[in-house]
Amino acid sequence: MADEPQSVIPIESDADIVTARQRAREMAGALELTSTDQTLLATAISEVARNITTYAGRGEVLLSVIKDDHGRSGIKVIARDEGPGIENLELALRDGYTSGGGLGLGLPGARRLVDDFSIETALGQGTTVTLLMWARPNARAA
């Protein structure tokens, strides 16, 4: 899989989150991801990017078109920051937990919306969330 991002969006405000969502939708549309998968991906990006603005203040979202060893194409999203990190990752990935007064749907919700989800965090060093959404072979136009 190629890891060279095609788009890097600095995240510091709600407007930046919208930009990241729109760029991901454009890339996903070019890969012929279904409109449902485009929406799921955009929603997952909203969740992880909003965590950047809420907890770290600033960070970035990197978007890449990737292919696996079987020729499958998809979108890879890396949302990263150099914020405080997540003190209790297991708790943060639990439905309903929030440390910021929200609904607690962010990380667990994002994890459910995409095909692959991973997170790395270190206190005082930041957090990196990686999302993958693969194009479905039967969803492509003939």
Quickly state the pLDDT bin for 140 (edges 50, 70, 90): very low
pTM score, whole prediction: 0.89
Q: Please state, in angstroms and rounded to a whole number, the distance separating the CA atoms of residues 15 and 54.
A: 14
CA 68 to chain centre: 18
CA 105 to chain centre: 14
Mean pLDDT value of segment 51-74: 94
Rounded to 5 degrees, what angle do the CA atoms 5, 6, 9 make?
A: 80
Burial label, 4 (beta-carbon count in 10 A; 0-12, 13-18, 19+): exposed
Q: What is the pLDDT of residue 129?
A: 97
Domains and CATH numbers, the chain: 7-139 (3.30.565.10)
51: phi > 0 → left, psi -120 to 50 → alpha, else beta; which? alpha
Q: What is the pLDDT of residue 91?
A: 87
Q: Please state, in angstroms and rounded to a whole number, the distance separating the CA atoms of residues 92 and 114.
A: 18
Q: What is the pLDDT of residue 3?
A: 54
Quickly state the pLDDT bin for 96 (edges 50, 70, 90): confident
Q: What is the pLDDT of residue 103?
A: 47
